[in-house]
Amino acid sequence: MASGLAASGFFLSFNNGPIYQTRRSFASSSRLTSSPAGMCCLKLGRLPYKGIKHNKFSQKKENKIIQAVAISVSPSALENADHRKQLADLYGFTKIGEPLPDNITMKDVIETLPKKVFEIDDMKAWRSVATTITSYALGLFMIAKAPWYLLPLAWAWTGTAITGFFVIGHDCAHKSFSRNKLVEDIVGTLAFMPLIYPYEPWRIKHDRHHAKTNMLTGDTAWHPPYKNEFQSSTPLRKAMIFGYGPLRTFMSIGHWLIWHFNLEKFRPSEIKRVKISLACVFAFMAIGWPLIVYYTGIWGWIKFWLMPWLGYHFWMSTFTMVHHTAPHIPFKAPKEWNAAQAQLNGTVHCDYPR
């Protein structure tokens, strides 16, 4: 999802392979808008994406929780526009595009994109930094001054503001923030520090996610378990899998702990950079947290850091859920997996309100 590039569309691409059991939950109260052919655009607000014509859409079922199991759909059925429309209506989207032909590669897709989308805009990049810092500072001021009954609103604002730090670090990791790669590494590391996210481990895992999007066992993001894996799991593991949908908005915390602090998950050539990132995060914890407690007490640490951090993880989990998981998006075994189809067919374009 670098600078909106990977948010390319909602396509269908099922085969007659094995059925992978998933259990997804998401609120269906968002509005949806259709964009150019082959895309489905999930819209969480009223402002249209610049340069794209949208059609308004109102869902019939508001504030419901949808739970679904991913199933295989015959590729020939997807050639039928009426069938795709029925599936779109069933799942709550305005449009599901035609399946991507097997002979299309990622290189073919990239070559169709205008040069403008690859250009680095320094002013826009640093303006995003200024906007995020200003919004974060305003959030901290609101928390300091707000009466207790307005604290949830202040936490929501501040949690959303510090999500901007993640977006900045994300673009640095994708080399789309600056022409100077050292600047990107420094800015990315600093942006991730308040989130207690080690930049380099996240960048490495995120690159693998893009390289193996929606590949079973290969993708570093969420993927459904095999049926035999589920059946052989411990009761606690089964409970986590079944509870994953309703708890999805905070499951990125578990992913953060499991994937980013274990040196055994990285190649020997990556260890040095990983250790530097970990040292930066631990330094923030060792210096920043005691200072917060010293000046504001334990309750101040909860108010000023923990609650906004949980708000950030709400967004982090939501991004993950919205961008690559839906009832009709397939997760394929390595032998069946195709890079272009996985990137396009398995990606949702989502417009958030300004």
Q: What do you get for the CA distance between the two ends of the chain, in Å?
A: 17
**Beta-carbon count within 10 A of 319 CB:** 19
pLDDT in tens, 38-77: 334 444 333 333 333 333 333 333 333 333 333 445 555 5
Residue from 176, 157, 169, 156 nearest 198 by CA = 169
What is the percentage of the chain residues whose pLDDT exceeds 90? 44
Average pLDDT of 282-304?
97
The DSSP H or E segment spanning 67 is strand 65-68
Between 90-94, 216-220, 251-255, 262-266, the lowest mean confidence (pLDDT) is in 90-94
Contact 169, 185 (CB under 8 A): no
Average pLDDT of 330-352?
83
pLDDT in tens, 203-258: 999 999 989 988 988 888 777 777 888 888 888 777 767 766 667 777 788 889 88
16-20, 51-55, 67-71, 268-272 — most confident range:
268-272
Continuous H helices in 59-194: 75-78, 81-91, 106-111, 122-145, 151-173, 181-192
pTM above 0.85, yes or no: no
pLDDT in tens, 177-198: 999 999 999 999 999 999 999 9
What's the Cα-to-Cα distance from 6 to each of 83, 122, 284, 346, 349, rounded to whole Å? 26, 21, 31, 10, 8
Average pLDDT of 279-307?
97
Burial call 53-80: b when 16+ CB within 10 Å, e when fewer: ebeebeeeeeeeeeebebeebeeeebee
pLDDT in tens, 103-160: 889 999 899 999 999 999 999 999 999 999 999 999 999 999 999 999 999 999 999 9
pLDDT at residue 244, rounded to an integer: 63
Residue 5 has pLDDT above 60, yes or no: no
Residue from 204, 192, 147, 138 nearest 168 by CA = 192
What's the Cα-to-Cα distance from 196 to each of 151, 193, 285, 296, rounded to whole Å? 22, 5, 8, 20
pLDDT at residue 23, rounded to an integer: 33
Contact 222, 325 (CB under 8 A): yes
